Amino acid sequence: MTKATVLAELGNQLGQEVHVSEWLTITQAMVDQFAAVTRDQQWIHVDPVRAQGESPFGATVAHGYFTLSLIPYLTDSVNAQVDRYPGKKLGVNYGLNKVRFPHPVLVGARIRAHTSLLQVEEIQDALQIINLVTIEIEGQFKPACVAETVSRVYF
């Protein structure tokens, strides 16, 4: 596909939900690995015994930034089997406009992402795409994360 073709197709999807991920179960091992890499060893994340007794949530919770970091995986942006923009040379994360963490993700919870296309514009040899990504927690009214992501796809 050409950049013009992709731009036209995306233009027809503005304001629509364009992707829903599979459910992902958050494990203590995942949270511990993230804590080790980021050096954020706060007990609310890494000490299940203490969290059960002292945390208002009764269990360990995932870091908000861990939940945020799952967006590329949950949106299939890093899935080599799914080429959402055939003909592209490169896709990159360009940043975030807004991020909020309305509800904590308890270890053992299942999450999934809903992606809606907010904006697409042509910028030189790329398309800049702004998506609204809402990470749902199974059985919870409030989402874990709501983020406006900005990416660029180069042709």
pLDDT single digits (tens) 57-104: 999 999 999 999 999 999 987 776 777 887 888 999 999 999 999 999
Q: Which CATH number fits domain 3-154: 1.10.274.10, 3.10.129.10, 3.60.15.10, 3.30.1490.150?
A: 3.10.129.10
**Domain range list for the chain:** 3-154
Q: How far apart are CA 10 and CA 98, in angstroms?
A: 21
Instruction: Give the length of the chain.
Output: 155
What is the per-residue pLDDT for 13?
Answer: 93
